[in-house]
């Protein structure tokens, strides 16, 4: 983070510089990618009175430049008020970033459902035994029907003579067969 302190028509003392640098260090607590901070102090005469203007210019990655100006009769008051305003802006931006990256309740519910489904599948893994299928040559539908009747199974998976994947199954009534 680059910092600079500029004084226009005013002399900068070491105490003043240290005070401004310490206020700039408080901006690091928001964990934002602050590229640079410029502090500009200027003194003007308006209607015969000295008016001090304190200005912060903050460049934050992936966001527009933040400019905060504060005018006051007292320099330290202007610095403190401007620092509070910048802190408020940075806090709001930090909260926005955190809220955008937060896990939503719908995602939590979905992950809980996925966990319960995974547990059920683990239970089924012990019940389901993998088997190696024999490679079958293409067969006629009548031939597959005869095999299904002799095996007494509920369905038969096979390739027909056109090399199409087919399923022959026994309907619920037990007398008729379906072909998919």
Q: Does residue 44 carry a pLDDT above 70?
A: yes
Report the pLDDT value the prediction gives residue 6, as an integer from 0 to 100. 95
The domains of the chain are located at: 2-99, 134-180
pLDDT, one tens digit per residue, over 68-96 is 999 999 999 999 999 999 999 999 999 88
Ranges 10-19, 95-104, 171-180, most confident: 10-19
Report the pLDDT value the prediction gives residue 88, as an integer from 0 to 100. 95
Strand 2-8 versus strand 34-46 pairing type: parallel
CATH fold of 2-99 reads: Double Stranded RNA Binding Domain (3.30.160)
Of 131 and 94, more confident: 94
Of 127 and 85, more confident: 85
Calpha distance 55→71 (Å, rounded)? 9
Calpha distance 71→58 (Å, rounded)? 18
The dotted CATH code for 134-180 is: 3.30.505.50
Neighbouring CB atoms inside 10 A of 157's CB total 13
Calpha distance 49→155 (Å, rounded)? 99
Calpha distance 158→70 (Å, rounded)? 83
pLDDT, one tens digit per residue, over 6-38 is 999 999 999 999 999 999 999 999 888 899 999
pLDDT, one tens digit per residue, over 135-167 is 567 888 898 889 888 888 888 888 888 888 889
Report the candidate in 158, 162, 164 with the shortest Cα–Cα distance to residue 143. Answer: 158
Q: Locate tokens 């009769």: which residue?
A: 73
Report the pLDDT value the prediction gives residue 71, as an integer from 0 to 100. 94
Report the pLDDT value the prediction gives residue 104, as an integer from 0 to 100. 66
Is the CB of residue 178 less than 8 Å from the CB of residue 169?
yes
Q: Does residue 50 carry a pLDDT above 90?
A: no
């Amino acid at each position: 983070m680059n910092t600079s302190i500029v004084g226009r028509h005013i002399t900068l003392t070491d105490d003043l510089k240290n005070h401004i640098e310490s206020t700039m260090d408080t901006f690091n607590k928001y964990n934002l990618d602050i590229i640079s901070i410029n502090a500009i102090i200027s003194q003007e005469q308006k209607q015969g009175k000295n008016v001090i203007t304190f200005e912060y210019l903050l460049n934050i990655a992936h966001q527009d430049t933040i400019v905060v100006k504060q005018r006051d009769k007292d320099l330290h008051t202007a610095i403190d008020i401007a620092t509070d305003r910048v802190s408020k802006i940075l806090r709001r931006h930090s909260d926005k970033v955190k809220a955008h990256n937060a896990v939503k309740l719908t995602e939590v519910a979905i992950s809980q459902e996925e966990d319960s489904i995974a547990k059920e599948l683990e239970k089924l893994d012990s019940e389901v035994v993998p088997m190696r299928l024999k490679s079958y040559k293409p067969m006629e539908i009548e031939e597959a029907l005869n095999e299904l009747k002799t095996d007494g199974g509920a369905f038969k998976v096979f390739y027909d003579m056109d090399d199409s994947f087919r399923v022959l199954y026994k309907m619920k009534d037990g007398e008729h067969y379906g072909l998919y």
